[in-house]
Amino acid sequence: MQRLDLRQLLSQKLSPQQIQFIKLLQIPTAELEMRIKEELEVNPALEEGREEPVDEYSSESDDYEDDYSKDDDLDINDYLNDDEISGYKMQGDRGGDDEEDREMPIAMTSTLTDSLMDQLGFLDLDDKQYSIGMQLIGSIDSDGYIRRELSSIANDLAFSQNIETSEEEIEQVLHLVQTFDPAGIGARDLPECLLLQLERREQDEITILAERIIRDTFDEFTKKHYTKIQSKFSVTEEELKKAIDLIIKLNPKPGGAGTGTTRIQYIIPDFILTNTNGELELSLNARNAPDLRISRSYADMFDAYDKSDKKDKKLKETVAFVKQKLDAAKWFIDAIRQRQNTLLRTMEAIIKYQHDFFLEGDESLLRPMILKDIAEEIGMDISTVSRVANSKAVQTEFGIYPLKYFFSEGIATDSGEDASSREVKHILKEIIDNENKRKPLSDEKIEKMLNDKGYNIARRTVAKYREQLNIPVARLRKEL
C-alpha cells in the first residue's frame, strides 16, 4: 500500500549567479577572452566597449514605473542608472591601449610527418612501396616509435587501400624509413632506437662496444650493473665509461614534439608583481578581458515602451525578454568584477605571507603555507582559494610562477619553527647534486645529513621528496 509522507528538509543550492562566478573564477586569463566572446554571442544585451555617458536615458517617467512595475515587478532604473555595472575594469587594469595585441601568442612550426613524407618522396619506390611507406609514417607515435605490429599494418593496408602485402615487404620499407632524419625514427623499441643512432656514427672501438652493450646486456645497462658488463666484455673501466657516456647522449625519443602540428602556447600570467624600491606592487593582467557594458539599444526599448500608448501582450513579452537579457548581462559583468576582486584579495594574501621570497627570489625564504592559511586571511572558503591557485600564475622579477608553487607543508626544525617542504626539497637536491656519483648517497644518509642541518625529517619523507623531484634511487644515480 502506498503512503504519502510530508517532510521538511533544509538544503543548500547554488544560485545561477554563484555557479557562473565559480566557473569564471577557476579559468585562467588565457581562457577568459574566449569565455567572454561566448557570452557576447549569446547575449545581445551585452556589448564590448567602454560605457557611454548617461544623458537623457538616466531617468524614466514616473508613470512608466508605476504602470509596468506594478504588474511585472520591473524597475528600469536597475538597468539604466546602475553605474556599478557599467564596466568591470578596476584596480590593476593596464589601460586598454588600442595597439595592444589581444591575440594569444602561438608559434607554429612544420610537422614531423611532413618532414618524413618529404624524405619518402626522394626514394625510388614503386606505388606499392610508397603506399607502405605512407602507412608506416602514419603509424609513428608522437615519440618517434612504431609500436604497431607489422601484421596489423598489413591488415590496415588490405582493408583501407586494398593492398595485399607481407610482413617481409613491410619490414624492407621500414628499414628505409629508419634511415630518415632524425636518427632513430621508426624504431620498434628503445634498444633498436639507440642502435639506429649508433649505426650512423663512426665505427670505432667505443661505438662498437656501445652497440654490444645494447644488444647483449641492455637489461644490466638499465639497472646500472656496470661490474657485470665490464666482466662480460673484458674491458677497462675507462673504456666502459666512454661507451656508457656515448649511449647516455643518444636521443631516446627521436620524435620530439610529435607527428602532429607543433603548437607552442606561451604562459600568460594572471598577475604582474613589480618591486619598486622595496615596495611590491600587484596588478591584474587584463589583456584578455575587454571592456563590457550594457547595450544602450536594449535600454532604449524601455524608453520606447514608456512612450507607447499601445501596451499589448506582445509588447509586454518583448520587454520581459529584454529584462531577462539585461539580467544575464548584469550578472555576467558582476561575476567578472567579483572574479577580479577575489583574485586580487587572494594574491595579496599570498604576497603578504611570502613577502620575503617576493623581495629576494630566494627559495629558502618560502614559508610553509597551505590553502587554509590564505582562506582564513581573506575570509573565504578553502575551495575558493583552491580554484584561484589551481590554474593561475604570477609574473615576478625572478620569472613566472604558478600559484601552487607557493603552497607547501611545514617541516619541524630543531629551533621549534616550521620550514617549508620546498626549502627542504631545495636542500635535498643540493645534497644529491654535490654527492660523489661513484658512491651516491642512500636515503638513510640523506636523512642523517638533513637531521644534522636541523630538519626533523624521516627517511620515508626523504624518499617521497626525492620521487617528487624525479630523482632516482642511489643505485641508478651511480656513474663510473
Alpha carbons 303 and 64: distance in angstroms, whole number: 9
Nine cell digits for residue 314: 506582445
DSSP β-ladder status, 271-276 and 393-396: parallel
Under 8 Å between Cβ of 234 and 246: no
- Give me the residue label for grid cell 601568442: 105
Nine cell digits for residue 263: 603548437
Under 8 Å between Cβ of 455 and 411: yes
Alpha carbons 234 and 454: distance in angstroms, whole number: 47
Alpha carbons 369 and 12: distance in angstroms, whole number: 30
66: helix, coil or strand?
helix
Alpha carbons 60 and 76: distance in angstroms, whole number: 8
Alpha carbons 333 and 36: distance in angstroms, whole number: 10
Under 8 Å between Cβ of 346 and 385: yes
Q: What is the pLDDT of residue 363?
A: 78
Nine cell digits for residue 102: 589581444
Question: Burial letters for 410-428: b for 16+ Cβ neighbours within 10 Å, e otherwise?
Answer: bbebeeeeebbbbbbbbbb
Give me the phi and psi of 99, to 5 degrees please.
-80, -5
Q: Is the peptide bond before 28 cis (omega within 30 degrees of 0)?
A: no
Alpha carbons 102 and 116: distance in angstroms, whole number: 36
Candidates 74, 90, 58; CA nearest to 327 is 74
pTM for this entry: 0.53
Q: What is the pLDDT of residue 92?
A: 41
Q: What is the C-alpha end-to-end distance of the chain, expressed in Å?
A: 83
Give me the phi and psi of 47, to 5 degrees please.
-130, 155
What is the residue-wise DSSP string for 318-354? HHHHHHHHHHHHHHHHHHHHHHHHHHHHHHHHHHHHT
Return per-residue pLDDT of the chain as tens, 480 residues: 567 778 777 766 666 667 767 777 888 777 888 888 888 888 888 887 766 554 433 444 344 344 434 444 444 444 444 444 334 444 444 444 444 444 444 444 567 888 888 888 888 888 888 889 888 988 898 888 998 898 888 888 888 888 888 889 989 999 999 999 888 898 989 999 999 999 988 888 999 999 999 989 888 888 888 888 888 888 888 888 888 889 888 888 888 744 444 444 567 788 899 988 888 999 887 665 667 887 777 767 666 665 665 566 777 777 777 778 878 888 888 888 888 888 889 999 999 989 988 998 887 788 888 888 899 999 988 888 888 888 888 899 888 888 888 887 767 666 655 667 777 888 888 899 888 888 888 888 898 888 888 888 888 888 888 888 888 888 778 776
